A and B are shown apart, each in its own frame.
Chain A
Amino acid sequence: MVTPGGRIRVLPPAIADAIAAGEVVERPASVVKELVENALDAGARQVRVEVAEGGRASIRVSDDGGGMTPDELRVAFGRHATSKVASLEDLSRIATLGFRGEALASIGAVARVEAVSRRPGQAAAARVVVTAATVEGPWPDGAPAGTSLTVTELFATTPARRAFLRPARSEALACARVVADCALAAPDVAVELHSEGRRVLRAPGSGVLLDAVRAVFGAGAARGCWPVAEPGDAFDVVGVVGGPGVARGDRAGLVLFVNGRRVQQRSLQAAVENAYRGLLGTGRHPLAVLDLRCDPEGVDVNVHPTKREVRFRDERGAYAALERACWAALRRTGGAATLQLGPPAAAGASSGSAPSGARPVVGPRPEAAVAARPGPALEWPAATPSAAGLPLAEAAGWRLVGQLHHRYLVAETEDGLALVDQHAAHERVLYTRLRERLERRDTADGRALPVSEGTGAAQGWLIPELVELPAPLVAGLPQAAGTLARLGIVLEAFGDTTVRCTASPSGVRPSDVARLVAELVDEALTERPDGGVMRVHRLAALLACHTAVRFGDALAPAAAERLLRDLAATPAPLTCPHGRPTVIRLGDAELRRAFGRPAG
């Protein structure tokens, strides 16, 4: 039978009324979701999504799927127009992501849509333009086989809803999540997201879920995951589960599908988290990507307008299957015995080679983790407050336990322990003081600071130090003397390649003065393209590094305590001026996990 819309037909009211209706398009991300799902339904091998200004300016989704004829293209934007459902019975065995015939109509009602589509056998593509639910076209066009839709002017005619949109960055993130979900749902489809002209995600479409996980969560996370393939009577569970080492502070890593459809169902999430009980501390959530597969008749997807939840004929069976599969996978892989240290940036552990089945090895390897990230991996917002740069006020309350190998300070924290790199921490403290001093105008007269209390202040020397410097530096000394004096270093030329240093900050060893002075003078005199903007930073970092306690120095308890307190008071205590971490914290959760104790 040939209908005017080809394979797409408008559902009769009886069927249309049986479909859960509601608002389909809430924000750019919902547009992206609907369009990408259509692409997957159309059998695409490649789906490319481009968003500009988080989708507020434009969204473009192109696929290489089956496409539409010119007639179908015109009809597709009508309400209840679908090729996926024809009868009421169809509604009870839905195997496609779409079934309402709503999405394109809803999008066409609130935005301008340009659609270009070509079925593989046809010579010409067809193009239509939809504005305010009115379809113009089709016109012939040249395009690759498949479909591409460009959505602009979203909510242009409904300013109230446009006003509700979040800033571009948040909308872009929401779009990214949607695309990531699709990449994880269909690892055999190459899925790309370009945001503001930059590609931010690409899953290779290799058919290997771990490749998609690597693309979405990064190489480190992929290394900490194990495959799950648990067949059952009514339910099969396939996917990957992450060990405790790659657990997260939010639920963004808990990605669940039912027959390939992304669901946000509390009960199913609970099933997975239950399986992890005892492995993760409070506030930690697993990384797990799982598809629960069953006969389409056993699940009703037609319950929620945005399809976020489904209803099972056997709800408990679904729950049990999911929990059992996760539990078994986690026990089998021995994931419970691993421990992950380090700040989230270094979340990639292990030097193991093949991710499949291999046991992750403990220990962060930041360079590898960073470099191995294929392009920019998705940046989820950090949910734990452990990201570098946040204040560490609570550290003031830590109790010093002692010093380890003359290198680290060990402290008892509220719920665990902290290890402090004494050199890095002291560097941060000194750096902060030195910067303040350099930036303060009132000491800019070039006088040396008075010999005073704490570390970093100038100390006059009974016996001055003679320092060898290259002649050009000595010649330039008058220019640099003022700046250096503010840092507590007093110099005068003493020969054409020698300077006499009569005061330097305490903490500088005599054996080190030569090197330090040479570097400081060099730095103070070097012409930089930035015109010296970064000079204060570089000088302070240089001096801090030279004057801080060494890795390997014994520290008196009082000095160690002071260091902890001083560190807590600096504005960016978690890294040294060179960007290395100063503190590693192990909370109750990590410790319990490491010892295999149930979470408290």
Chain B
Amino acid sequence: MTPAVAQYRQAKAEHPDAIVLFRLGDFFEIFGPDAERAAPILQVALTARDFGRTGKLPMCGVPHHSVDAHLKRLLDHGCTVAVCDQLEPAALARGVVRRAVTRVLTPGTLVDADLLEPGRSQRCVALWAEDGVTGVAALDVSTGDCLLAEVPGGLDGPQLVSELERLDAAELLLSEEAEAPAGLAPGALRSRRGPELFAAEPAVARLRQRVGSSELVAAGVGGWHAAQVAAGALLGYCAGGRLSLPSGFLRVRAQAPEETMLLDPATRRNLELVEASGPGGPSLLRLLDRTRTPGGARRLRSWVQGPLRQLAAIAARQAALAELQQARGPRAELRAGLAGCRDLERLVGRCIQRLAGPRDLAALRQTLVRVPQVAEAAAPLAAPLVATARTTLAAVPADLASVLERALVEDPPPTARDGGFIRPGYDPELDRIRAGSEAARRYIADLERVERERTQIRSLKVGFNRVFGYYLEVPNSHRQPLPPDYVRKQTLVGAERYLTPQLKEQETIVLSARDRAAVREQACLEQLWAQVEDRAAALTAAAEALACLDALQSLAEVADDLGWAHPVVDDSTRLEIQDGRHPLVEAALGPGRFVPNDIGLDGAGARIVLLTGPNMAGKSTYLRQVATITLLAHLGAAVPARSARIGLVDRIFTRVGAHDELAAGRSTFMVEMAEMAAILSAATPRSLLVLDEIGRGTSTYDGLSIAQAILEYLHDHPAVAARTVFATHYHELTALAGSLRALRNHRVEVVEEGEGPGARVTFLHRIVPGGADRSYGIHVAELAGLPRAVVRRAQVLLEDLEAERRLPSDESPPRQLALPLAVAHPVVAELKALELDGMTPLAALQKLAEWQVRARGDEPVE
């Protein structure tokens, strides 16, 4: 076994579940199963390499200078990574280069500024279920923000996944013994640790050690035992990963369930909240994001993830946004001021964690200089949210900026390692050390000239090697005698090397001064950290204020830019939108192409819209548009409509489109039904339901029956009497308007010219009252480029089918829903018509046998 192989084996043994990146020369190599897992993620070639006695092992590698980009990819794919680096430059190493694991990275516990995503909180979430509740602790180690929540139900509870998505969990910490939460996306990293980490008493003690119990009570989490256990486990996990979480660093908050809306994963996906469904298209968040700072981007993201549920909170944001939207001048100033601000929240976190380098402090300095400018820009604005933020900014102590100004050089290096970042004149002690070594350095630098003069040896040289430092080198060719203070140290082929006591003395001064200066600069840095920490509360509040202003101006900017209007949000159960648009579809189509549409729902009257219309007409778009506008209204934001009035909604449920979760072992239809079941059990009369083509994933009759049953259930059960928009291709359902009082038929209008093949269908994308009777699916298939032969054949088959179906229902125009399920078996008709009187028992028995055969097998007679 070569020494390098031994080093690798040890690193891998220490970090068995991590992908180990092992530095060899200019590359970081990955071996064995790690390589097989990493190569496709990193899109590098998989090769093989001789590996000691083990024989050949798979291997891949990445250049060391681009390792960060590769680390990021691995982390994005939920991998834990251990970086085993060289501890010394290969050129300087004697013997084998020393290597050791220098960094262990997991997606939820990153502190490197380069690896963190600026616009997204990085939450590591621990779960602990006990007594019918699940405690959730979500810690962002880059800021110290620690959010606790308690979710009813165990790890298989229906709400848990929604909560995890709202928290935007980057990593999930679970006990080895716990089951995985139901419905979790397969990609998310689940870190497992032994049950001892979750042992209740030590875990709670670990939390209490850092956060006093009075603080916990004040945060409103005093009674949340399960959440406290989860938090304690999380702290233990971080400590194991050598993360420093000083006591003042953690800021515990409670996630109050009544404040924000819980959106289930399907709804977040359907509305493309933070992730676009197709490649290239923007998500809703991207459309809304005109923030200028990372903190603002994170704030906006959390707003979009958790729409508000309380009228007062919505009204407060509306007031601020309405004012900002009008005040274009001040808004422009505000944006200019924010643009110079850096990530204040994380910078403060790095100072408290003692991770901030000189360049981080310079970024902090730059931000602090901008804070007054931002406050001034906000001065003309009166809305309470803005005014409060401004007051907070005005309260930031001004002294810190000037301390940093005096302490740090203009453009300091990223790390403290090489020194040179403290300005001369800031620290007298440092200035003294620097001055002291200066004389010694001059002595050594000048030595060559001085000694040449003294000895008259023109070829005398001053050199340096690592073994005995500075020396004087005299070639053997010299004739002159050497001064007595020359002490011979080494003999070479053509020369001798000497030292003098004075040279050694000066060398010591230089070397020790270098160390002392480094120590002193480090001390200065620590002082600066401490000064930041002393003001952490004010700075963190300022960071929040900046983030809030930034998120607000972003929403105002978008609303102004896209011509959106502020809705009325009240406690009615109305849902009225005039000239509503789907913001993402509209953006994709370009200006002046999207056809606006209205809706008018009222919980007390017309509560359900049954939407029919051809394929490609715009049903799904309309559904998502209604849901998106409702969601935006609950952010307090303006909406893409001429006007809107929206009664407070407690949850938005969407069932749009079908998708497989084969990886999770569930078929398309199973997923659809599971989502539907969850909706029916959780919806309330305050909810908004947007249901697209329920039942399409199975046979027509099954689907139609399920769809009708669901509609009836939503209509008749007061507990789920939610405002509902229901799109379907089952035109038979339109007949329900006759019996379901609160249901209204709407259709998407088309114009048809001509008949049969060659007919032209034009989509008007307009929603109008009334039901549709055709789907024009074949027309769409033709548009999509299906072979002509297929299209023609489909047309013929359709005509046959329609002719058949038209027969029974032709007589009664307002046709009662004739569910094909209810169509009696032909045997029944025969039974009814049978003349029993003229029949022998044997004939009757034969008839009975024949019917049985037919009923069982449904084969044709004879």
Instruction: Determine whether the beta carbon of B329 is less than 8 Å from that of A354.
Output: yes
B429 at the binding interface (Cβ < 8 Å)? no
Residue of A nearest to B618 (CB): A142
Q: Are B763 and A142 in contact (CB under 8 A)?
A: yes
B494 interface residue (CB < 8 Å to A): no
Contact A144 B329 (CB under 8 A): no
Instruction: Kindly state whether residue A154 has any CB partner on chain B within 8 Å.
Output: no
Knowing A48-B591, A368-B333 are in contact, say whether A142-B764 is a contact too (CB < 8 A).
yes
> B329 to A146, Cβ gap below 8 A?
no
Q: Is A141 an interface residue (CB 8 A)?
A: yes
Question: Is B563 interfacial (CB 8 A cutoff)?
Answer: yes
Is the CB–CB distance between B591 and A371 below 8 Å? no
Select from chain B the residue with minimum beta-carbon distance to A372: B332
Say whether B445 contacts A353, CB under 8 Å: no
What is the bound-complex CA distance between A141 and B753, given in angstroms? 12
Q: Find residues 393-415 in chain A having any chain B CB closer than 8 Å to their own CB.
A: none
Encoded as 1 (CB less than 8 Å from any A CB) or 0, chain B from 442 to 456 comes to 101110110000000
Nearest A residue (CB) for B560: A204
Are B765 and A142 in contact (CB-based, < 8 A)?
Answer: yes
B135 within 8 Å of A (CB atoms):
no
Is residue B703 within 8 Å, beta carbon to beta carbon, of the partner chain? no
How near does chain B come to A31, taking the closest CB pair, in angstroms? 17
| Interface residue B458 (Cβ < 8 Å from any Cβ of A) | no
With A50-B591, A371-B336 in contact, is A190–B563 under 8 Å at CB?
yes
Give the interface SS of chain B, mostly helix, strand, loop or mixed.
mixed
Cβ-defined contact, A62 with B592, below 8 A: yes
B762 at the interface (CB under 8 A from A): yes
Whether B354 is near chain A, meaning CB under 8 Å from some CB there, is: no
> What chain B residues lie within 8 Å of A354 (beta carbons)?
329, 380
Is B258 close to A, CB under 8 A? no
Is residue A267 contacting chain B, with contact meaning CB distance below 8 A? Answer: no
- Is B657 part of the contact surface with A, judged by Cβ < 8 Å? no
State the Cβ distance, A468 to closest chain B Cβ, in Å: 6
Closest chain B CB from A366 CB (angstroms): 11
| Chain A, Cβ-Cβ closest to B328 | A211
Does any Cβ of B come within 8 Å of A462's Cβ?
Answer: yes
Query: With A and B bound together, what is the CA distance between A529 and B449 in angstroms?
Result: 43
A142-B595, A142-B765, A500-B445 given; A470·B417 CB < 8 A:
yes
Q: How far is the CB of A352 from chain B (nearest CB, A)?
A: 9
Q: Is A62 within 8 A of B591, CB to CB?
A: yes
Enumerate chain B residues within 8 angstroms of A148, measured Cβ to Cβ.
592-593
| CA distance in complex: A515, B751 (Å) | 76
**Pair A144/B380 contact, Cβ less than 8 Å:** no
Task: Please tell me if B514 contacts chain A, counting CB pairs below 8 Å.
Answer: yes
Q: B470-492 interface mask toward A, CB cutoff 8 Å, 1 = contact, 0 = none?
A: 10000000000000000000000
**Interface: A342 (CB within 8 A):** no
Contact check, A495 vs B464: say whether CB atoms are below 8 A apart: yes
Instruction: Give bound CA distance, A124 to B763, whole Å.
Output: 9
- Closest A residue to B763 by CB, please name it: A142
Any A CB within 8 A of the CB of B403: no
Bound form: Cα–Cα A208–B348 in Å = 42
Task: Pick the residue among B328, B340, B420, B590 that contacts A518 (CB under 8 A).
Answer: B420
Cβ A368 vs Cβ B336 within 8 A: yes
Chain B residue with the shortest CB-CB distance to A528: B65
> Separation in Å of the A480 CB from the closest CB of chain B?
15
Q: How far is the CA of A139 from the CA of B446 in the complex (A)?
A: 94
Cβ-defined contact, B379 with A144, below 8 A: no
Kindly report which residue of chain B lies nearest to residue A62, judged by CB atoms: B592
Contact with A along B758-784 (1 / 0, CB 8 A): 001011111010000000000000000
Residue in contact with A123 in the complex, picked from B463, B469, B590, B764, CB distance below 8 Å: B764
Instruction: With CB as the reference atom, state the residue of chain B lying closest to A125.
Output: B764
Interface centre among A206, A214, A463 (most CB of B within 10 A): A463
Complex CA gap A462/B444 in Å reads 13
Q: Tell me if B330 is interfacial: C-beta within 8 Å of chain A.
A: yes
Complex Cα gap A214–B762 (Å): 42
Q: How far is the CA of A469 from the CA of B413 in the complex (A)?
A: 13
Is residue A194 within 8 Å, beta carbon to beta carbon, of the partner chain? yes
Q: How far is the CB of A584 from chain B (nearest CB, A)?
A: 22
B272 beta carbon closer than 8 Å to chain A? no
Cβ of A466 within 8 Å of any chain B Cβ, yes or no, is yes
What chain A residues lie within 8 Å of B763 (beta carbons)? 142
Q: Which of A143, A205, A372 contacts B335 (CB 8 A)?
A: A372
Task: Scan A477-509; emit 1 where CB is below 8 A from any B CB, else 0.
Answer: 000000000000000011111101000000000
A192 CB-CB contact with B under 8 Å: yes
- Chain A residues 505-561 with CB under 8 Å of chain B are 514-515, 518, 527
In the assembled complex, how far is the CB of residue A183 from the closest CB belonging to chain B, in whole angstroms? 14
Q: Does A71 contact B (CB under 8 A)?
A: no
Q: Is the CB of B561 within 8 A of A202?
A: yes
Please report the C-alpha to C-alpha distance between residue A493 and residue B332 in the assembled complex, in whole angstroms. Answer: 53
Asked if residues B449 and A463 are in contact (CB atoms below 8 Å), the reply is yes
- Contact status of A141 and B762, CB under 8 A, knowing A124-B751, A202-B561, A475-B92: yes
Nearest B residue (CB) for A374: B332
Chain A window 316-350, contacts with chain B (Cβ cutoff 8 Å), 1 for yes, 0 for no? 00000000000000000000000000000000000
A123 adjacent to B749 (CB under 8 Å): yes
B595/A144 in contact, CB under 8 A:
yes
Select which of A192, A204, A206, A464 is within 8 A of B591 by beta carbon. Answer: A192
Instruction: Report A-chain residues with C-beta under 8 Å of the C-beta of B339.
Output: 367, 371
Q: Given the complex of chains A and B, what is the CA–CA distance between A140 and B765 in angstroms?
A: 12
Known contacts A206-B328, A371-B336: does B762 contact A496 (CB below 8 Å)?
no
- Indicate whether A249 reaches chain B with its CB closer than 8 angstroms: no
Is B563 in contact with A371, judged by CB distance below 8 angstroms?
no
Report the minimal beta-carbon distance from A139 to chain B, rounded to whole angstroms.
7
Q: How far is the CA of A214 from the CA of B329 in the complex (A)?
A: 9
Q: How far is the CA of A81 from the CA of B595 in the complex (A)?
A: 29
Q: Is A472 an interface residue (CB 8 A)?
A: yes
User: Cα distance A597–B209 when bound, in Å?
Assistant: 76
List residues 364-423 of chain A with CB under 8 A from any CB of chain B. 367-368, 371-372, 374
The answer for the CA separation of A514 and B590 in the assembled complex, in Å, is: 57
A464 nearest CB neighbor, chain B only = B445
CA distance A84 to B379 in the complex (A): 49
Selected from A64, A368, A496, the residue in CB contact (under 8 A) with B92 is A496
B717 interface residue (CB < 8 Å to A): no
Report whether B464 and A494 are in contact in the complex, using a CB–CB cutoff of 8 Å: yes
Task: Point out the residues of chain B lying under 8 angstroms from A514, CB to CB.
Answer: 420
Per the bound structure, the CA–CA distance linking A223 and B332 in Å amounts to 12
Q: Are A142 and B441 in touch, CB under 8 angstroms?
A: no
Q: What CA separation (Å) do A142 and B448 show in the bound complex?
A: 90
- Complex Cα distance, B441 from A243, in Å, reads 61
Q: B89 touches which one: A144, A211, A368, A472 (CB < 8 A)?
A: A472
Q: What CA separation (Å) do A62 and B469 show in the bound complex?
A: 80
Chain B residues near A48 (CB, 8 Å)? 591-592
Residues of A within 8 A of B336 (CB): 367-368, 371-372
B764 touches A124 (CB 8 A): yes
> Which one of A214, A462, A470, A498 contacts B418 once the chains associate, using CB atoms below 8 Å?
A470
Q: Which residues of A contact B466 (CB under 8 A)?
A: 496
A64 to B591 Cα, complex, angstroms: 11
Q: Is A151 an interface residue (CB 8 A)?
A: no
Determine whether B91 belongs to the interface, using a CB cutoff of 8 Å to chain A: yes
A515 and B424 alpha carbons, distance in the complex (Å): 13
> A551: shortest Cβ distance to chain B, in Å?
12
CB within 8 A of B380: which of A146, A219, A353, A465? Answer: A353
28 pairs of residues in contact across A and B, judged by CB atoms under 8 Å: A48-B591, A139-B762, A140-B762, A143-B595, A144-B594, A204-B561, A214-B328, A219-B332, A351-B376, A353-B333, A354-B329, A367-B340, A368-B333, A372-B332, A372-B333, A372-B335, A374-B332, A462-B449, A463-B445, A464-B445, A464-B448, A466-B445, A471-B92, A495-B470, A496-B92, A496-B466, A515-B420, A518-B418
Q: Which 7 A-B pairs have the closest CB atoms?
A: A62-B592, A48-B591, A371-B336, A142-B764, A372-B332, A140-B751, A495-B464
Known pairs A475-B89, A518-B420 / 20 extra A-B pairs, C-beta < 8 Å: A48-B591, A50-B591, A124-B749, A124-B762, A142-B763, A142-B765, A148-B592, A204-B561, A219-B332, A351-B376, A353-B329, A353-B380, A354-B380, A463-B446, A466-B445, A466-B510, A495-B469, A495-B470, A514-B420, A515-B420
